Amino acid sequence: MDDDIILNEVATRVVPMICLFGVYIIFNGHLSPGGGFAGGTVIGVAMVLFSLVFGLRATFAMVPENLLILLTSLGPLWYAVTGLVGVFRGVGFLANANAGINLGAPGSLFSAGLIPVITFGVGISVAITVTILFVILVEAD
């Protein structure tokens, strides 16, 4: 990509806003429509926009490629480890209220037990998946 001034200036200001909006969608997954998959997709699309405007080299300077491939396995691992909390308390796998976790006041941000923890893991997983699919498909030998 050439050094187009409009693209550079707009992308510098817009990409952090898109990431912030995606993080907001992830963290309010149990209160309003959204959740891990929608918020993770928004963050992944922000990374794709960054990679389109500033090139692949700037993207790899921010997040190395081997680190991206390593973080792909973080999603299912986080989910499974969170599910083991129920096993260690004596109840079944992936238990939320049965494991004795305080559910909190309905409508506040720190409520619903393990659901925000799982949503965060799912959001990271989807964001990394969308980013790595784009980067691998665009990268030429």
Partner 1 sequence: MKPRHLMLLALPLVLVIALPMLMVVATMPTYGEVNPTFNYVIEHYNAHALEETGATNVVTGIILDYRAYDTLIETTVLFTGTIGVLLALKSVPRRRGDLSGRRHNP
Partner 2 sequence: MAAVIDVFVRNYPYVYAVLLFAIGVYTLLSNPNLIKKVIGLNIASTAVFLFYIAMGNVRGRLEPLVDPAHPHAEFVNPIPTALILTGIVVSISVTAFALSLVLKLFRHYGMLNAEEMVRLRGTIDEDH
Nearer of residues 8 and 41 to partner 1, judged by Cβ: 41
Nearer to partner 1, 9 or 139 (CB): 139
Asked whether position 72 contacts partner 1 by CB under 8 A, the answer is yes
Phi, psi of 52 (to 5 degrees): -75, -40
Yes or no: say if 54 and 46 are a contact pair by the CB < 8 Å rule: no
The footprint of partner 1 on residues 27-66 (CB under 8 A) is: 29-35
Q: What's the rounded Cα separation, in Å, for the pair 134 and 50?
A: 12
Contacts with partner 2, 14-53, as mask; x by CB under 8 A: ------------------xx---x----------------
**CB neighbours of residue 77 within 10 Å:** 11
In the bound state with partner 1, the residue whose beta carbon lies nearer, of 46 and 112, is 112
**83 touches which of partner 2, partner 1, none (CB within 5 to 8 A by kind)?**
partner 1
Phi, psi (degrees; rounded to nearest 5) at 139: -70, 125
Question: Under rule CB under 8 A, how many of the chain's residues touch partner 2?
Answer: 9
Q: C-beta of 87: minimal distance to partner 1 in Å?
A: 13
Q: Which is nearer to partner 2, 20 or 133 (CB)?
A: 133
DSSP designation for 106: T
Residue-wise DSSP of 110-132? S-STTHHHHHHHHHHHHHHHHHH
Neighbours of 111 (CB within 10 A): 15
Stretch that binds partner 1, among 6-14, 15-23, 24-32, 46-54 (CB under 8 A): 24-32
